[in-house]
């Protein structure tokens, strides 16, 4: 069944395909760990895509493009932060409104940039290492953002698990009243987490418009933000599981196209729904396991915090 598909090439392309989802998912994971549910990932991603594209075309630099993308995503996240943290608005509705607003605004901003080719983001020069079989493609054949996406998972894991910052962040997400009583600035921490989430979603969006496609058209992220949201839940709010989830989803998406290209005798209509189906099945298997896999959503996820005393 896998005849004719080179596993090295497959792994290399699923790593690239998953980058936008990993970046956005890690951002959202940190936000949710701080107890905030921001459903506006798609909106922040597409703002990142358009701002990144504009920045890189204007400056001629792909790197500055990613900086612009992160800023664009964070700027939109700031609206969400003001609404939910200062004006105490409902988080679910604010997040969905953010997506609506982001889709509209990105299209307005991008009007003059349709049909332009942005500056290229090249693979990092690993020299002869990139020529080696299998590992050359899988480990040494990528652009810097791919490595950044993996590094962001490692850093998020380390910070959440082993640092004071991570401890405070989790405390805020698990019990904001207690955290407040201990003297932590619940609102400030949550605002910073939201901005971080926006910046990461923006980076992911910029990767779509600068590397994956690369061009600007309306609606270019095509739902990747929703998948990132699903991956956070899939991961049970743990960074490495988010990486696994994104690679699983990205891998099946790429694999089904490869199977088509290799002429596999599996009906295409089943193949094209397989990434969603298999993700559900894997989640069911993982969450039905005994004990450990209990779904540890942050206890205060989505709840409004107001210091009444």
Restricting to residues 207-236, which ones interact with another protein according to CB under 8 A? 208, 212-215, 217-224, 226, 229-230, 233-234
Which pair of tokens denotes residue 217?
Answer: 């058209």
List the one residue from 27, 68, 110, 239 that touches another protein (CB under 8 A): 110
List the one residue from 155, 165, 294, 299 that touches another protein (CB under 8 A): 294
Rounded distance between C-alpha atoms, residue 264 and residue 258, angstroms: 9
* 299 lies in the binding site for another protein (CB under 8 A): no
Task: Reduce the DSSP state of residue 2 to 3 states and report it.
Answer: coil
* 67 lies in the binding site for another protein (CB under 8 A): no
* 25 lies in the binding site for another protein (CB under 8 A): no
Name the CA dihedral angle for 131, 134, 139, 144, rounded to a multiple of 10 degrees: 60
**Looking at 28-36, 95-103, 155-163, 165-173, which segment touches another protein (CB under 8 A)?**
95-103
Task: Reduce the DSSP state of residue 144 to 3 states and report it.
Answer: helix
Q: In this structure, are residues 35 and 300 in contact, taking their beta carbons and an 8 Å threshold?
A: yes
Question: Looking at beta carbons only, is 82 or 159 nearer to another protein?
Answer: 82
Task: Output the smallest distance, CB 10 to another protein, in A.
Answer: 8
Question: Looking at beta carbons only, is 159 or 302 nearer to another protein?
Answer: 302
Residues 161-180 that bind another protein (CB under 8 A): none
List the one residue from 64, 96, 159, 168 that touches another protein (CB under 8 A): 96
Task: Output the smallest distance, CB 127 to another protein, in A.
Answer: 18
Question: Looking at beta carbons only, is 154 or 285 nearer to another protein?
Answer: 285
Q: In this structure, are residues 23 and 15 in contact, taking their beta carbons and an 8 Å threshold?
A: no
CA atoms within 13 A on the CB side of 275: 19
Q: In this structure, are residues 194 and 77 in contact, taking their beta carbons and an 8 Å threshold?
A: yes
Name the CA dihedral angle for 186, 83, 79, 297, rounded to a multiple of 10 degrees: 50
* 4 lies in the binding site for another protein (CB under 8 A): yes
Rounded distance between C-alpha atoms, residue 207 and residue 223, angstroms: 14
* 117 lies in the binding site for another protein (CB under 8 A): yes
From residue 261 to residue 280, the character string flagging contacts with another protein as x (rule: CB under 8 A) and all else as - is: xxx---xxx--xx--xx-xx
Question: Looking at beta carbons only, is 129 or 280 nearer to another protein?
Answer: 280
Question: Looking at beta carbons only, is 63 or 109 nearer to another protein?
Answer: 109
Rounded distance between C-alpha atoms, residue 300 and residue 217, angstroms: 38
Rounded distance between C-alpha atoms, residue 52 and residue 145, angstroms: 13
List the one residue from 17, 46, 206, 252 that touches another protein (CB under 8 A): 17
Which pair of tokens denotes residue 171?
Answer: 């405390």
Residues 141-160 that bind another protein (CB under 8 A): none
Residues 245-264 that bind another protein (CB under 8 A): 253-254, 257-258, 260-263
List the one residue from 38, 94, 149, 152 that touches another protein (CB under 8 A): 94
Residues 184-203 that bind another protein (CB under 8 A): 185, 187
Rounded distance between C-alpha atoms, residue 220 and residue 213, angstroms: 9
* 307 lies in the binding site for another protein (CB under 8 A): yes
Q: Is the dihedral of CA 19, 20, 25, 28 positive or negative?
A: positive
Which pair of tokens denotes residue 184?
Answer: 């932590």
Q: What angle do CA 45, 50, 71 make, to 5 degrees?
A: 65
């Amino acid at each position: 069944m896998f005849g004719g598909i080179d596993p090295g090439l497959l792994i290399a392309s699923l790593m690239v395909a998953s980058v936008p989802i990993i970046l956005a998912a890690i951002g959202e994971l940190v936000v949710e760990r701080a107890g905030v549910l921001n459903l506006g990932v798609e909106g922040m991603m597409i703002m990142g895509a358009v701002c990144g594209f504009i920045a890189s075309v204007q400056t001629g630099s792909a790197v500055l493009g990613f900086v612009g993308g992160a800023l664009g995503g964070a700027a939109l996240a700031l609206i969400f932060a003001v609404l939910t943290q200062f004006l105490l608005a409902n988080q679910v509705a604010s997040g969905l409104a953010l997506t609506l607003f982001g889709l509209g605004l990105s299209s307005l901003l991008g009007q003059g940039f349709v049909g332009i080719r942005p500056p290229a983001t090249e693979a990092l020069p690993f020299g002869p290492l990139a020529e080696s079989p299998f590992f050359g493609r899988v480990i040494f054949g990528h652009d810097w953002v791919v490595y950044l996406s993996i590094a962001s998972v490692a850093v998020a894991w380390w910070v959440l698990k082993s640092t004071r910052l991570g401890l405070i962040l989790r405390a805020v997400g698990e019990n904001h009243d207690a955290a407040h009583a201990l003297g932590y600035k619940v609102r400030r921490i949550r605002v910073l987490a939201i901005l971080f989430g926006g910046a990461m979603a923006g980076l992911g969006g910029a990767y779509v418009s600068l590397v994956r496609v690369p061009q600007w058209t309306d609606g270019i992220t095509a739902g990747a933000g929703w998948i990132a949201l699903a991956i956070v839940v899939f991961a049970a709010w743990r960074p490495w599981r988010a990486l696994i989830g994104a690679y699983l989803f990205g891998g099946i998406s790429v694999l089904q196209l490869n199977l088509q290209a290799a002429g596999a005798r599996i009906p295409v209509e089943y193949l094209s729904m397989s990434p969603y189906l298999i993700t559900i099945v894997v989640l069911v298997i993982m969450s039905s396991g005994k004990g450990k896999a209990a779904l540890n959503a942050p206890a205060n996820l989505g709840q409004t915090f107001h210091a009444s005393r």
